[in-house]
């Protein structure tokens, strides 16, 4: 009988834990910029975000913006 109650408690705890993990607990409030300069930067970043790449090599790393893509073949791009 004691084992049955322990199993029930474990099942209930697991269900509540998994349900809690899937709930959206944060409210999404859009950020409002207090200055026009900051708003221009936010809009510029949103515009180029899809074109930004990160390059990692054995000797370092860097980042940049893709302006034009040249296909070199065999899955290589310049």
Domain boundaries, the chain: 2-77
What is the predicted pLDDT for the residue at 10? 93
Query: Of 32, 33, 66, nearest to 49 (Cα)?
Result: 66
5 has pLDDT over 70: yes
Q: Each residue of 20-65: pLDDT tens digit?
A: 766 676 767 888 889 999 999 989 888 888 878 787 888 888 877 7
Tell which wins on pLDDT, 75 or 31. 31
Strand pairing category for 60-65 and 71-73: unpaired
Q: Is the CB of residue 54 less than 8 Å from the CB of residue 61?
A: yes
DSSP state of 1: -
Whole-prediction pTM value?
A: 0.39
Confidence of residue 8 (pLDDT cuts 50, 70, 90): very high
Q: What is the pLDDT of residue 72?
A: 80
pLDDT of 38 reads 92
């Amino acid at each position: 009988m004691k084992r049955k109650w322990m199993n029930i408690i474990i099942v209930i705890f697991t269900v509540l834990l998994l349900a809690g993990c899937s709930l959206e607990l944060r409210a999404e409030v859009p950020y409002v910029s207090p200055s026009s300069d900051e708003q221009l930067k936010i809009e510029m970043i949103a515009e180029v975000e899809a074109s930004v790449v990160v390059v990692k090599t054995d000797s370092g790393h860097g980042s940049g913006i893709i302006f034009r893509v040249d296909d070199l073949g065999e899955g290589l791009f310049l």
